[in-house]
Structure 1
Amino acid sequence: MHRSAVCALLFTLPLIIPSYAASTPEQRGRVYAKTHCARCHAIGRTGESPFKPAPPFRTLHLHYPIETLGEALAEGIVTGHPAMPQFELAPPQINDLLSYLKSLE
């Protein structure tokens, strides 16, 4: 790929992928949560979870030390609530999501 094409791609990446447009880990974590988790979980400071068995993110720290969730996110959470899908996050995604969860404490 030509160098100018690479530069153009890197310049437009934040416009194509919203999580790259966010400048802080907390902001990227919120984008991740909104994209991948909000269908079931309340991800903000208020509101009920759309799927009742899914705990609101703002209450997770009451049940788990947020720092301990990193390993589970890396290996794939297979439980949580009965309908929760299994998934695995990459280390940067884990850092971003944990940063966002800590901001809700």
Structure 2
Amino acid sequence: MVMTGLSMAQTAPDVQRGRVLADTYCSMCHSIDKVGPSPLSIAPPFRELHESYPVEALEEALVEGIVTGHPSMPQFSFDPDQASNLIAYLKTLE
């Protein structure tokens, strides 16, 4: 899902930044929207993450560096502000 200018303008800045991060780093494998399958079938859609655990619990792992969430997931880490923004975006998908 691509956000239109109007819907982006109506979204909180931290959520907007989180959406950009998700699109940039995660959307190649994960569905980052409220509908649709993940491009990589073993990568869970972001909208389902909260069903397994509180998404806030991911913040520390995002900063320290997620080594692997699924077998083909690359290692990456975010700075604290980026992690907070990504969590804010994930919460909009609950």
Q: Which runs of 5+ in 1 are unaligned?
A: 1-21
Q: Within 2, Cα distance between the matches of 1:78 and 1:36?
A: 14
Query: Which residue, 39, 42, 46 being the options, matches 1:50?
Result: 39
- The 5-angstrom pairing of residues 28-43 of structure 1 reads 28-43=17-32
Select the structure with the greater relative contact order (CA < 8 A; seq sep ≥ 6). Answer: 2
More helix by share: 1
Q: Structure 1-normalised TM-score?
A: 0.77
**Shift in Å at residue 78 of structure 1?**
1.1
Q: Which amino acid aligns with 2:30?
A: H
Name the structure 1 match of 2:48. 59
RMSD value, Cα: 1.2
Q: Structure 2-normalised TM-score?
A: 0.85
1:88 equivalent in alignment to 2:77: yes
Which is higher, the Rg of structure 1 or of structure 2? 1
Q: Within 2, Cα distance between the matches of 1:52 and 1:23?
A: 30
Cα displacement string for residues 48-87 of structure 1 (whole angstroms, at most 9, x for unaligned residues)? 0000000000000011211110111011111211100011
Name the structure 1 match of 2:66. 77
Cα displacement string for residues 11-34 of structure 1 (whole angstroms, at most 9, x for unaligned residues)? xxxxxxxxxxx8610111001101
Q: Which runs of 5+ in 2 are unaligned?
A: 1-10
Percent identical residues: 57
Q: Within 2, Cα distance between the matches of 1:23 and 1:70?
A: 19
Runs of 4+ in structure 1 deviating by more than 2 angstroms, as ranges, are none
